[in-house]
């Protein structure tokens, strides 16, 4: 077997599970006699005078650290030259040329890119940058807003983090006969709020995909069997005629109706926490799939989970399978998005459990 030199980098927002993927790639590559080079700070690390890299092995990233959140390789500096700022500064051609030059200087056989739907969509849109090597993408995001895969790295840990946060709030909510309006991350996708809301036993779950009526919500809370609990609100919901943070908007409605409440914003706690067993197993499966794809000569593919099986799908299929949305920060780029589908079993289960989820069925 030919010895290969592969690069690996993390891009976009961080989440738990990234270090597990990196560790498993390093371990699997070592068993094949391959060298793994970590690219620091994503594309930032490829835009200087010379690429900023580190040779990876289990001494550099030991197994006991693989469970930690964040990225050992970092995800980039705010304001540094990247796809977004290159467009702002009119330096797209120079930026793309620098990426190709840096990758060529590294003499890589393959590159594993761990990213969300934005990073993966960008990789396909700018695929000529990676034409001289094999490009394998691994999906990660706490939002679970990526098509063609049933799970992404980081999602399960984020659900656990948000659930644990709400578990603690529930105790003080009971003590003070108070409702907590908790704002979950998720951008325009309600998967995180829906899953954590069901896990914690929320009284109401509001997500962008399901329309809701505030009068119905208030009546549901007023007639609940308890005078305390969690109202889970996804950050992507909107309320006509109101502005501000979604949790604050809902809280104001509750206050006006005489319902005692407080807001709570777990924010980046959802991106933190030791990686759960489920995410570690998924990370291991994705790493193994990526390494096998390199062995098989595949390129422009993404690892994906479907019905318990992990396989690769082409990046063109990833883009075609999602709902294309204009990126607000990168003119001309459309990202491939997934959302909570109307037939998601958790929606009907939540309704059966007496959780208000809006105008569903």
Catalytic residue list: 143
**Residue 121 backbone dihedrals phi, psi, to 5 degrees:** -65, -40
- CA 153 → CA 106, 258, 316, distances in Å? 27, 41, 21
Q: Helix and strand tally (H, E) in the chain?
A: 11, 13
> What kind and span of H or E run contains 9?
strand 5-10
- Asked if 201 contacts 354 with a C-beta cutoff of 8 angstroms, the reply is no
**Residue 345 backbone dihedrals phi, psi, to 5 degrees:** -55, -30
- Asked if 338 contacts 145 with a C-beta cutoff of 8 angstroms, the reply is yes
Kindly calculate the radius of gyration of the chain based on its CA atoms and give it in whole angstroms.
Answer: 22
3-state helix, strand, coil split of the chain in percent (to 5) is 40, 20, 40
Token pair for 195: 């899953």
SS3 212: coil
The DSSP result for 123-142, as a single string, is HHHTGGGGTTSEEEEEEB-S
- Residue 158's nearest CA partner among 269, 246, 247 is 269
Angle, helices 155-176/191-200, rounded to nearest 10 degrees: 50
Question: What is the torsion angle, in degrees rounded to the nearest 10, for the CA atoms of residue 229, residue 235, residue 241 and residue 242?
Answer: 70
**Residue 180 backbone dihedrals phi, psi, to 5 degrees:** -115, 125
Q: Where are the alpha helices (DSSP H) in 126-201?
A: 155-176, 191-200
Going by C-beta distance under 8 Å and a sequence separation of 6 or more, which residues neighbour residue 272?
A: 16, 69, 70, 161
Angle, helices 191-200/345-352, rounded to nearest 10 degrees: 30
């Amino acid at each position: 077997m030919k010895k290969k030199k592969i690069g690996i980098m993390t891009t976009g927002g961080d989440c738990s599970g990234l270090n597990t993927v990196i560790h498993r790639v390093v371990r699997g590559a070592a068993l094949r006699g391959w060298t793994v080079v970590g690219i620091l700070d994503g594309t930032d690390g490829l835009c200087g005078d010379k690429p900023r890299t580190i040779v990876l092995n289990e001494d550099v990233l030991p197994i006991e650290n693989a469970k930690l959140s964040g990225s050992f390789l970092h995800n980039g500096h705010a304001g540094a030259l990247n796809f977004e700022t290159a467009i702002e500064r009119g330096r797209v051609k120079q930026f793309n040329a620098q990426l190709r030059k840096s990758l060529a200087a590294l003499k890589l056989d393959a590159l594993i890119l761990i990213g969300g739907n934005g990073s993966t969509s960008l990789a396909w849109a700018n695929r000529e940058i990676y034409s001289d090597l094999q490009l394998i993408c691994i999906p990660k995001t706490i939002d679970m807003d990526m098509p063609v895969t049933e799970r992404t790295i980081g999602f399960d840990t984020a659900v656990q983090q948000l659930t644990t946060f709400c578990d603690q709030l529930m105790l003080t909510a009971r003590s003070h006969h108070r409702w907590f309006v908790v704002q979950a991350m998720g951008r325009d996708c309600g998967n995180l709020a829906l899953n954590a809301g069901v896990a914690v036993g929320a009284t109401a779950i509001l997500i962008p995909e399901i329309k809701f009526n505030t009068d119905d919500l208030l009546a549901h809370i007023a007639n609940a069997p308890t005078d305390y609990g969690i109202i889970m609100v996804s950050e992507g919901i909107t309320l006509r005629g109101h502005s501000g943070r979604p949790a604050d908007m809902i809280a104001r409605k509750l206050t006006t109706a005489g319902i005692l409440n407080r807001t709570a914003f777990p924010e980046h706690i959802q991106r933190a926490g030791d990686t759960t067993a489920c995410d570690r197993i998924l990370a291991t499966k994705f790493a193994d799939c990526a390494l096998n794809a390199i062995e098989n000569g595949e390129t422009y593919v993404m690892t994906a989970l479907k019905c318990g099986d992990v396989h690769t799908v082409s990046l063109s299929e990833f883009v075609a399978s999602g709902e294309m949305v204009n990126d607000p920060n990168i003119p001309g780029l459309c990202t491939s998005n997934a959302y909570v589908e109307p037939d998601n079993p958790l929606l009907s289960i939540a309704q059966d459990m007496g959780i208000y989820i809006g105008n569903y069925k």
